Each structure stands twice: as C-alpha cells, then as structure tokens.
Amino acid sequence: MLHIHYTDYEALRAHGEETYPHECCGVLLGKSTSEGNHVHQIVRAGNTRTDSAHNRYNIAPQELVKIQRQARGLGLDIVGFYHSHPDHPAQWSPTDFAEAHWIGCSYVITAIGKGKAAITNSFLLTGTGEEDKKFEDQAVEIEVAEQISQQKGQA
C-alpha cells in the first residue's frame, strides 16, 4: 500500500494540472516498511523531454542525485515517483514499464483530462531485476489529518 498525506496527494495532482498539456514528474520521499511505502514529502522535478513533453517525461540524473542527497539529509529514502498522463488514462504504458527500474518503488500516475486532474493510480514495481520485473496495482491510503480514508483508483 502507498500511504500519502492528503496535501501531498493534492500537490502532485495539482502539478499535473499546472504542466498540462505536458507531463509533470516528481519524486516521493519517505520510508518503506512491511506495510508499504510511506510518503513524507514530494519533490517536484523538471521534465527534460521538451521534445515530446505531452507524452514523455524524464528526470535528469543529476537532479535525481541531488534529490537523493536531499532525502539522505532528511533521513528519508526515495520510495517512488509520480507523473501525469495528459488526456490519457492513469494506467502504465509500455514506455512506463520499459523505463521503470526502481524495484520496490511506487509509480503514481494521474490522468489529467482537459487540464483537470482525474483519477490517480499507483503501481508497485516488483521483481528482482529487469528479467522478471512487473507492475502491480497498489492501493493508496490518503491520510487526512487524523482521519484516514482509503481509496483505490478514485480521485
């Protein structure tokens, strides 16, 4: 399960609306436990795929290095990533799968329909390596102050 606070959840969805019709992307910092990935902070990243930003994203490795360094300073880890699919469903694509290498991490995708955030889904990359990796649907638990609501596949 992916555990994320409501404000972070809304922030990553808002990011997708801001960059529409281009894809947004960012990193989820937190902790991984036996109960899933817990997001403590989200970090916006730049999309370097300016050649095809409406349907591609890429985070510059140097930016990732800095974000990982930032996480280390906070005592956190990279536990996932997020990006948007402008006018496209919140399902992973063949490109998402081919480019996914962070096993154990959550890949959060938000569908942005005509500029408005719609469904947000999370997929956990499982396996032991490139040969047997796969995406599994991952439930999302959104924490709202002291009240916790569970949802799956619903904005």
Partner 1 sequence: MNIHIPTPLRTYTGGAETVAVPGGTVAEVFTELTSQFPELKQQLFTTEGKLRSFVNVYLNDEDLRYLPSKEATTVATTDELTIIPSIAGGACSSREAVCCSCCPLL
22 exposure class (CB count in 10 Å sphere: 0-12, 13-18, 19+): buried
102 is an interface residue for partner 1 by CB under 8 A:
yes
Among 91, 118, 139, 155, binds partner 1 (CB under 8 A): 91
Residues 17/115, Cβ–Cβ less than 8 Å: yes
Binding mask 8-47 for partner 1 (x = CB under 8 A): ---------------x-x-x----x---------------
Q: Among candidates 80, 82, 86, which has minimal Cα distance to 18?
A: 86
Q: How far is CA 93 from the centre of its chain?
A: 14
Among 44, 49, 143, 155, binds partner 1 (CB under 8 A): 49
Report, in Å, the least distance between residue 142 CB and partner 1. 22
Single out the segment in contact with partner 1 by CB under 8 A; choices: 5-13, 50-58, 141-149. 50-58
Residues 95/56, Cβ–Cβ less than 8 Å: yes
Report, in Å, the least distance between residue 141 CB and partner 1. 20
Among 38, 77, 110, 124, binds partner 1 (CB under 8 A): 77
Residues 31/77, Cβ–Cβ less than 8 Å: yes
β-pairing, 140-144 with 2-5?
parallel
Q: Among candidates 48, 39, 43, 36, which has minimal Cα distance to 70?
A: 43
Q: Which residues bind partner 1 (CB under 8 A)?
A: 23, 25, 27, 32, 49, 52, 55-59, 61-62, 64-65, 68-69, 72, 77-79, 81, 83, 85-86, 88-89, 91-105, 107, 129-130
